[in-house]
Amino acid sequence: MNFFEKIKLKDFRNFKEFTINFNNKCNVIIGPNGSGKTNLLESVSLFEKGRGFRKDFFKNMINNEEKKDKFFINCTFTTLKNNLDLMLSCELNKEKLIKKLLVNGSNSKESVQYFEKLYSIIWFLPEMESLFLGSPSLRRNFFDRLIYGVNKDYLTLLNNYKKKILERNRILKKTNYDENWIYQVENEISDYGLQIYSRRAKHIEILNSQIKSLQIIDKDAQNFELRINDNFLSNQKNTELDFKSEYLLKLKNSRNYDAIIGGCKMGPHKSDIHGFHLRKKLSLVFCSTGQQKAIILLIIIAQSKYLINSLNRQPIVLLDEICSHLDKHNRKILLELINSLDIQSFVTGTEKNFFSFLSTKASYYYIH
């Protein structure tokens, strides 16, 4: 089993120097608001690509009481074969702070990729309780992170797509632009866009299949279904070649509109992902808060099971303040996630009695 065993923080958020050892199962972190529980989880999330689950700037993560210019997160990552020494910090590069990761002292592409393939981090934050009530971007980001957990090159695909959208915007702002130039950019946009559409559709299909298999945990699981809502997709019934031709045509026809408004009026960045209750024929928006929280927990279990059984990849789950407003039914689902799956999990809360339903396998840590 792969897991984060020891974490040392230096000048990170509210921690000047802090060291903690974790077990490979459930780790419950208890402390008052402002003690740094979420900061500790954030330090783990930073080992995935990006700026962690808060998506904050690195300069804001530095504890600068003593005018420090960087933070350090040192970690022992245990695997069946060996232990990896991880050192994560930020450094100045062209007047911009960037993240730097060393694996056993090396920042080579091969070393980092080896580490990244050993695990996948999944997180639940309090604001995700309203996942199906929030903005489409909140849902897209959530599901895109799940896809990244399966395909580690997916983030590169998303970034390439965004870069081409921005390049097209710059071209459209010019009074006169080269038709061949913008056609080439739009051709690349359509290629990237179709790949994103395809990967999202495939992963939604995987999650739906996995969720239906969880009826033993939640008998209502077979009634939930995730769907992609996209005007462009819903109108396409032709071949893949026609699909791309239509994509290019719509990009061309929207040039004047996009030049004025900015951005791009169509594409996977405009998609939405919704949950539906098939028996009630309702969007999850109209289901109870408990049902919405249940489906989010089921999605996390479905993702974890797929990673373990199909990819032999270790899911590591971060659950921040998960126990607030948790009813008896959802406690059962959470117990399945924590106790039945071979995963390392981190759970935070302000009081120990919130976790009285957990098994004795859980380890408790108090921070002040």
**DSSP string for 26-58:** EEEEE--TTSSHHHHHHHHHTTSSSSTTTT--G
Predicted pLDDT at 28: 94
Predicted pLDDT at 57: 94
With 80 as the cut, is the pLDDT of residue 44 above it? yes
DSSP state of 70: -
With 90 as the cut, is the pLDDT of residue 342 above it? no
* Average pLDDT taken over every residue of the chain: 91
- 106-134 pLDDT tens trace: 999 999 999 998 999 999 998 888 899 99
Q: DSSP 3-state assignment of 347?
A: strand
Q: How confident is the model at residue 359 (pLDDT cuts 50, 70, 90)?
A: low
Predicted pLDDT at 158: 97
Q: What are the residue ranges spanned by the domains of the chain?
A: 1-118+313-368, 136-311
With 80 as the cut, is the pLDDT of residue 274 above it? yes
Predicted pLDDT at 129: 85
- 78-95 pLDDT tens trace: 998 899 999 999 988 888
Q: How confident is the model at residue 219 (pLDDT cuts 50, 70, 90)?
A: confident
DSSP element (H, E) containing 345:
strand 344-349
Range with the poorest average pLDDT among 110-124, 231-245, 313-327: 231-245
Predicted pLDDT at 319: 94
With 70 as the cut, is the pLDDT of residue 360 above it? no
For the segment 240-256, the average pLDDT, to the nearest whole number, is 89
Identical fold at 1-118+313-368 and 136-311?
no
The rounded percent of the chain whose pLDDT value lies above 90 is: 68
CATH architecture of 136-311: Up-down Bundle (1.20)
- 122-166 pLDDT tens trace: 999 988 888 999 999 999 999 999 999 999 899 999 999 999 999
Q: How many CB atoms lie within 10 A of CB 352?
A: 12
Predicted pLDDT at 80: 87
Predicted pLDDT at 62: 94
Give the CATH number of domain 1-118+313-368; options: 3.40.50.10710, 3.40.50.300, 3.90.1300.10, 3.90.650.10: 3.40.50.300
- pTM of this prediction? 0.91
Q: How far apart are CA 311 and CA 283, in angstroms?
A: 31
- 11-42 pLDDT tens trace: 999 999 999 999 999 999 999 999 999 999 99
Q: Extract the tokens encoding 170.
A: 């710059």
Predicted pLDDT at 93: 83
Query: CA of 253: how far to CAs of 26, 97, 184, 231, 266, in Å?
Result: 53, 40, 15, 16, 11
For the segment 269-290, the average pLDDT, to the nearest whole number, is 89
**66 Cβ neighbours under 8 A, 6+ residues apart:** 11, 16
For the segment 43-70, the average pLDDT, to the nearest whole number, is 91
